[in-house]
A and B are shown apart, each in its own frame.
Chain A
Amino acid sequence: MLTDTSTAGHHLNECLNSDGSVKPVYRNLVNAIDSLGVPELQRRWNDANHRAALDAFTFMLDPREFRTVPTDWVPRLIPEAEWDVISRGVAQRLKAINRFLLDLYCGEQEVVPPDVMYSCQYFNPELLDYRPPRDVFVHIYGIDLVHMGDGRYVILEDNLRIPSGITYQMKSAEIGLGAIPELAAGYDIVPYDIRAAYQEMFASLCDKDSPVCVLLTDSKYGSAFFEHRYLSELFGITLVEGSDLYIGANGRVRARAMGGDFEVDLIYRRVEDLELFVPGLTEAYLDHKVVLVNAMGTGACDDKLVFLWVPDMIEHYLGEPAILDQAVSYDLRSPANREYVLQNLDSLVLKTRQGYGGLGVFILPDLDKGYRSRLAQQLIEQPQVFIAQETLDFSQHLVFDESSGVFEGRYVDLRVFAVQNGHGEVTVFPGGLTRVSEANSRVTNNSSGGSCKPSWVVR
C-alpha cells in the first residue's frame, strides 16, 4: 500500500529508500498495514479519532472550538542505536545548560557575551545570587530535532521555560496502539515511565517528606489544557488556577480549598507570567518558600541567540564536544554575518530571538520576494532581534489521508523530553513527540496547524 503511492519524490523519506523500497526497520509495519488493507485501516483510523474525541484529547487554537489533536496514527520508528545517540546528546546538553544557568545567576559565566545575555528578554535580574533547590534550574527540558538521514539528528532549538507536548507523545501512542495493535507486531518497543520519573523528581526537590505538589494551569481555555489535566491526574496532584493560590502570612504559598486552605510545597507551573497569576509568588520563590518546576530564569537559554553558544557551554562545563550537532546559525549583530544573510535571503531561515510555537519563524525560501524584502529591511534596522539559520532539508515521513486512503510525504521533526531530578540524574523519555507539517510547509508546530505522530524506539 505504501509503495503504491507517491511520496512527493522527496529524497529523504524515513520509511522508504530513494528507489521506493521499504527500509528494513519499517518492513514489519508496512506488512501490517498491507495486511489490514485500506478500508480496514480507515475504519481503525476512525476508531482512533473517535477515541481521541471521547477523551477530549485536544490542542485548542480557539478556546471556543473543541479541536482534537490532529494525529497520524502510524508510528515513526527510531532504532535503539540512533536513540542512544539522541538520548546521550540531550542529557549532555541539559546538564551543560543547567551549569551555565547556575553560573549566570549565582556566579560568573564566561561563555556567552554579556551584551547577549543582558539583552535577552527572559534573563531575570531578580534571580541574581539565587540558588535553586539542589542547584537544579532545568527540571523539564524539551528539545527540537530534525533527522538529516543515516541516523544523524540536528538540533533546531531548546525549550526550557514550559516545554509542552509530553502528553501528546504518550496519548498518541496509547490511542494508536489501542486502535491498531497489529502495527506493533514484530517490534520490541522500549518502554518508559513518565509518572515515576516526574514524581521522583518532585519529591527530590523538596526538603520534607510527602510534599504537597500542584500543577498551575492558565485555565481550561488554554491551548494545552488537555496536557495540564492529564498530567495532574496521572501524577495524582491537584490542578490549580492562579486564583486558587495566594501568599499566606508566613510567606508560604497557600491554596484556597473547601474544608480549609492548604500549604503548597511545589508548583509544577504551566504558565509563564507567574506574578500575573499569583501576585507575590516571585518573592516567595526567592525566599525558598516554594519550589518551582521549571525554575524561574530558565528562559534565558530559550533565547535563539543564546542557542549559538550551547556547544561552547558543553565544552566549557563538561570538557567534551557536543554529541548532537545543531543547525548552523548566524549572529546578526556581526556586520559580516548580516552581509552574508542579506545576500542569501532565499536560502535561510530567519527567527526572532524570543519566538515560540512557530511564531517568529520565517522560512525565507518559502516566502515571496516582497515579504523577504520587508524582512530584510527589519533585519537591517534591528539586527539584534533576529538570528538566521541555514535551511535544512530534513526528513519526511508518510502520513495517511483517511479520506482518500493514500499515504503522502510530510516534513517531520522530533521533540524529545527529559527531566532532571534533585540528585542531578537525567531521564530522557524514549521516542519523543513527532510533529508533522501541513502539506507544502516545513513548519511543524501544533499551534501553527501541524499534527503529531506516535514515535517508538524499537530494539
Chain B
Amino acid sequence: MVEPRSISVSPDRWLTDSRVYNLIWLGRWLERADNIARVINTFARIAVESGADMLALQQSLGNAAAIRGIRVEDAGQSLEMLLRYHEASSIYHSLHTARSNATHVGTVELIRAISETVMTLERDGAMPASPLEALLLTNEVLERLDAVYKVIDDSWFHQEALSEEEVYRRFVQQ
C-alpha cells in the first residue's frame, strides 16, 4: 500500500511577478473608476442643487473629460463617454480592465464584486437622462466600489474572502 502524499498547498499563493503586475494595475484601474465616478457625482450633485438641466451638466463635464484625455466632439456626449463608452478612461472600461486583472490575482468573491459594479453600467436604461439620475447612478457605482474595497481588505488582510475552493467544497457538500 502506497502512503498518500500531499502537495504544498498555499492558500495565499506566492506573490509572483505577474501577480504583482496585475495587482498594481488592478489598483490603478479601480482608482481611475473611483476617481471618474466621484467627479461625475460631484458635478451631478451641484447640478441637482442648482436646478441645472442635463445639457449644463454634460457641458460642465466636458472639462473633466478633457482632463482625462477624452476627446469629445459633442459636449453633450461627455457624460456617456465618461460613464461607459470611452475605451480607455470611462468608468466602464476601467472596471472591465480591473476585472481582467482581478481574474489573475483575486478570489472569486473579488471578481463577483467587480462584476456587480460592471453590471450596474450594463443595465438597460443605465445611461442617465437627468442630473438626478446621474447622481443616483454614480452613488450606486461608488457603493459597489466600497464593496469591492471591502473584499480586497478581507482577501489580503483578513483572508475571509470566498475562494473557488470554498465554493467547490460547499457544492460537493450539497
Binding site for B on A (CB under 8 A): 50, 53-56, 66, 170, 174, 177-178, 191, 193, 195, 199-200, 202-204, 206, 209-213, 220, 225-226, 229-230, 232-241, 243-244, 255-259, 262, 266, 423
Contact = CB atoms under 8 A, between A and B. Distances in A.
Contacts, number: 117
B16 A240 contact: yes
Contact of A213 (B8, B11, B19, B99): B8
Contact of A174 (B9, B10, B104, B167): B167
Contacts of A54: 111-112, 115-116, 119
19 contacts: A53-B115, A54-B116, A55-B112, A66-B99, A177-B174, A200-B5, A202-B7, A203-B4, A209-B5, A211-B7, A225-B103, A233-B163, A234-B164, A235-B9, A238-B13, A238-B16, A257-B14, A266-B7, A423-B2
Given A54-B116, A220-B22, A233-B165, A203 B5 contact: yes
Given A55-B112, A195-B165, A234-B168, 15 more contacts: A54-B119, A56-B111, A177-B171, A203-B4, A203-B7, A204-B2, A211-B8, A212-B7, A233-B107, A235-B9, A239-B16, A244-B16, A255-B16, A259-B15, A262-B14
Contact of A240 (B5, B18, B99): B18
Given A239-B13, A239-B19, A240-B18, A210 B168 contact: no
Contact of B108 (A55, A170, A178, A255): A55
B97 to A, nearest CB: 10
B115 A56 contact: yes
Contacts of B111: 54-56
Contacts of A226: 103
Nearest to B104: A220
Nearest to A242: B18
Contacts of A230: 164
3 A-B pairs with the lowest CB-CB distances in the bound complex, closest first: A236-B9, A233-B164, A203-B5
Interface residues of B, number: 39
Contact of A236 (B103, B119, B165, B171): B165
Contacts of A225: 103
Contacts of B101: 220
Nearest to A60: B100
B16 A210 contact: no
B156 to A, nearest CB: 13
Contacts of B67: none
Given A195-B165, A234-B165, A244 B7 contact: no
A241 B21 CA distance: 11
Contacts of A237: 7, 9-10, 13
A232 B14 CA distance: 12
Nearest to A194: B168
A243 B8 contact: no
Contacts of A213: 7-8
B16 A56 contact: no
B15 A66 contact: no
Contact of B104 (A202, A211, A239): A239
B20 interface: yes
A236 B14 contact: no
Interface in B1-38: 2, 4-11, 13-20, 22
B86 interface: no
A226 B100 CA distance: 10
B17 to A, nearest CB: 4
A247 to B, nearest CB: 16
A391 B103 CA distance: 40
B116 A238 contact: no
Which of B2, B11, B18, B119 has the largest number of chain A CB atoms within 10 A? Answer: B18
B168 A195 contact: yes
Contacts of B2: 204, 423
Nearest to B5: A203
A328 B174 CA distance: 42
A285 to B, nearest CB: 19
A235 B165 CA distance: 7
Nearest to A240: B16
Given A233-B107, A234-B168, A212 B8 contact: yes
A154 B76 CA distance: 61
A155 B123 CA distance: 44
Contacts of A50: 119
Contact of B4 (A200, A232, A241, A255): A200
B105 to A, nearest CB: 9
Contacts of B163: 233
A258 B15 contact: yes
Interface in B44-84: none
A371 to B, nearest CB: 38
B10 A255 contact: no
Given A236-B11, A237-B7, A229 B103 contact: yes
B20 to A, nearest CB: 6
Given A193-B172, A211-B7, A239-B19, A255 B14 contact: yes
